[in-house]
Amino acid sequence: MIKKHFLSLLIISLLIIGCSNSDQFIIEKGKVGKLTQHTTVKDLEQIFKNDSIVKNLSEGALGDNYFQDDDEYLIFEKGGKHLLTIVPKEQLDSTSTIKSIEIHDKRFKTKEGINLNSSFSEINANNRLRPESTLKSVTLFVDELNATMAIDKSELGLSNYSSQKVSLEQIPDLAKIKSFVVWFN
């Protein structure tokens, strides 16, 4: 009887640990892993206490670096793998919430399995997409996630620095994304 009770408790514990572990890499609208729309900059130290945080701080309105308008918090695993780049809404403010999160690790994925390694056909199958051309890439707006994904124009067979408008039908099914950003606004 005690063995059965212990075994049941062990199985439940493993399920809880397994679920919480997979939740740390889930992407949903308003959520990336343990980060939500309510997470502040000062919360990052606690959330990523087992990881490394590199702070790339802007100098604000009084600074000399005109090319860096946003603070960036780069999150690295202890082994050195770049996980996320987090940009707060307000610069130089520890109480600011998050503006955007750029995903750098393929373990972060949606419930449908969309991640950095996903092809265009996988992304297009589960989401309504709005494409917008830039000089070097096509940005896909994914309203269901409040996210943007960029595909390099070379994946489309187009030359860089062209202003040619691109439709969804022109994007090859196997085109890979080069960036994945979730917005918290």
CATH of the domain at 17: 2.60.460.10
Number of domains the chain is built from = 1
Per-chain mean pLDDT for the chain = 86
User: Strand ranges (DSSP E) for the chain?
Assistant: 27-28, 31-32, 35-36, 52-56, 72-76, 82-88, 98-103, 129-133, 137-142, 147-152, 179-183
> What integer is the mean pLDDT of 114-120?
95
Q: What is the DSSP code (8-state) at residue 17?
A: H
Confidence band, pLDDT 50/70/90 cuts, at residue 155: confident
For residue 67 the two structure tokens come to 């090319």
Confidence band, pLDDT 50/70/90 cuts, at residue 179: very high
- Residue 33's pLDDT is 97
Residue pLDDT, tens place only, 68-86 = 678 999 999 999 999 999 9
Give pTM, 2 decimals. Answer: 0.83
Domain of 82 in residue numbering reads as 2-183
- Residue 63's pLDDT is 55
Least confident of 16-20, 121-125, 168-172: 16-20
